[in-house]
A and B are shown apart, each in its own frame.
Chain A
Amino acid sequence: MTSAKYHPSDEVLSDFAQGKLSTGMSVALSAHIELCQSCRQRSSELESREIVSWLQADRAQPLASPDFSGMLDLITSQPQLTIETKKTPHSEEEPLVSELHMLDHSITLPRVLAKAASRGLVWHKLAGGINQAQVQIDNETQCEFLYMTPGSQVPVHRHQGSEVTLVLDGGFEDEFGHYGPSDFLVRDKRDQHQPSTEEGCLCFAVLDSPLTFTSGLARLFNPINNYRFRRATSQRF
């Protein structure tokens, strides 16, 4: 497996370990960590650090302690899991889609993405040879698989919030570099970029707000793009 050149920062890994990030961002990180050994190690180091400061927290700053009495009896009256439950940790009623079939090969998805795609992917064609399949993960981000066909180019765009891209297969380049499998990129609103690909590229992307296209005809996409985002993030009752 090719090792990644672009990684999440320590700050992001630490927020991830604490459970502070949105579900969408957490999924992207979990997938990168499955693919990248160095981030796997780094994130467990940072998690250890968090655990240590958690253990010291209530000594440094004693909180007004609420009354937890009454919980004990309730809890200890519950049945415990048995060892038999342990042997079948999770029921396998729905088989995971763990492979995506490309034109001439197929790739294995990281587990968390396989789970995210388990209800099936519906691909839509966007401008410039881009295909998009959204997945419903939370209502704070827009999560999607993106497939850029070989030779395609995304219109120049700017982000209102931040966009995380995890390369799963193939690669693409922009003004800042070339990105290959397992690379984890963060773009925020200062970055205006125009990704393109020679070889074709499959990515998983998480946006925490809609894209703004900044050039030419692509501006026509803006209202649509906002609409899509609102639809993706609206609550479903």
Chain B
Amino acid sequence: MDPFNILSPQRERPRVVAVAEKTPLETELETAERKLSEEPTDEELLLAVGESQDRQAFNTLFQRFSKKIFAMGMKLTRNEQLAHDLVQEALMTVWTKAPLYDLDRGAAQSWIFTLTRNRCFDMLRKKKRQPQTISSDDIWPQEGDADMSFVHEEQGSQAVEIAQIERFYTELPVAQQAVIEQIYIYDRTHEEAAAELEIPLGTLKSRLRLGVAKLRVLIGVEQ
């Protein structure tokens, strides 16, 4: 694969596994089957929906997830009408928020799961006429919120993680290694790193995005 042709994640086919760790065999098999049959992965579909409002891709996601969302709704609300409403609300959120999804946010299945759980939680709160002080977003803050207080603490276990990451890091394409080195090791801003490497800012960002996503996959598979 040409390491410099990474602007198009659809073509790159990132190997994102269903969930970060303890992936059961079945899920792995399913992912493998999809790959063999050249069916697009959930991540590819979601990126296509976000980047170009691809209705065909959304249709496929709709077919793959609507029954699962209905099942979650039945389990949590025990009410067919609410479960039906949840399918609409959750998939509406998938459509409207798809531009905010990127591979840094992890597997598409996890993204859709948390979004569905949160919609359901807020739907039930509304139905029970609860005060609106707290919403699902407060209870399950999204990863990547800049001001999460716990991001910077606990050095001890981080050292272990860094040692692990270093092993996988060398498996990345050189161009992605260079970007990750600039940002995470020299602690440069995106702009500084782009200037240092003499590449456009957009290229830097997509290399970073893909590099980090790949690292996560490598680490997840390893565990």
Contacts and interface: CB of A to CB of B under 8 A. Distances in A.
20 contacts: A18-B117, A19-B136, A23-B139, A34-B150, A47-B114, A51-B18, A52-B18, A55-B18, A56-B26, A57-B72, A63-B67, A65-B70, A68-B87, A75-B62, A75-B92, A76-B55, A115-B138, A118-B133, A136-B133, A235-B129
B96 A72 contact: no
Contacts of A135: 133
B68 A55 contact: yes
A226 interface: no
Tell me the interface secondary structure of chain B in the complex. Answer: helix
A110 to B, nearest CB: 8
A34 B149 CA distance: 8
Contacts of A19: 76, 117-118, 120-121, 136
Interface residues of B, number: 64
A83 B138 contact: no
SS class of chain A's interface: helix, strand, loop or mixed? Answer: helix
Interface string A65-76: 110100110111
A35 B153 CA distance: 10
Given A86-B99, A86-B100, A138-B128, A66 B113 contact: no
Interface in B52-110: 53, 55, 58-59, 62, 66-68, 70-72, 74, 76, 80, 84, 87-88, 91-92, 95-100, 109-110
B88 A75 contact: yes
Contacts of A101: none
Interface of A: 1, 17-20, 23, 26-27, 30, 34-35, 37, 40, 44-45, 47-52, 54-58, 63, 65-66, 68, 71-72, 74-76, 78-83, 85-86, 89-90, 108, 110-112, 115-116, 118-119, 135-140, 235-237
Interface of B: 18-24, 26-27, 50, 53, 55, 58-59, 62, 66-68, 70-72, 74, 76, 80, 84, 87-88, 91-92, 95-100, 109-110, 113-114, 117-118, 120-121, 125, 128-131, 133-134, 136-142, 145, 148-150, 153-154, 157
B148 to A, nearest CB: 8
Contacts of A90: 137
A154 B158 CA distance: 41
Given A76-B58, A139-B130, A112 B71 contact: no
A127 B38 CA distance: 69
B117 A40 contact: no
Contacts of B67: 58, 63, 65
B96 A79 contact: yes
B29 to A, nearest CB: 12
B133 A116 contact: yes
A63 B150 contact: no
A139 B98 CA distance: 33
A80 B21 contact: no
Contact of A89 (B27, B138, B145): B145
A112 B84 contact: no
A135 B74 CA distance: 30
B71 A57 contact: yes
B37 to A, nearest CB: 17
Given A78-B95, A86-B100, A37 B150 contact: yes
Contact of A45 (B22, B130, B134): B22
A11 to B, nearest CB: 16
A116 B27 contact: no
Given A19-B120, A71-B87, A81 B134 contact: no
B20 A27 contact: no
Given A20-B76, A51-B110, 4 more contacts: A48-B20, A52-B27, A75-B95, A112-B138
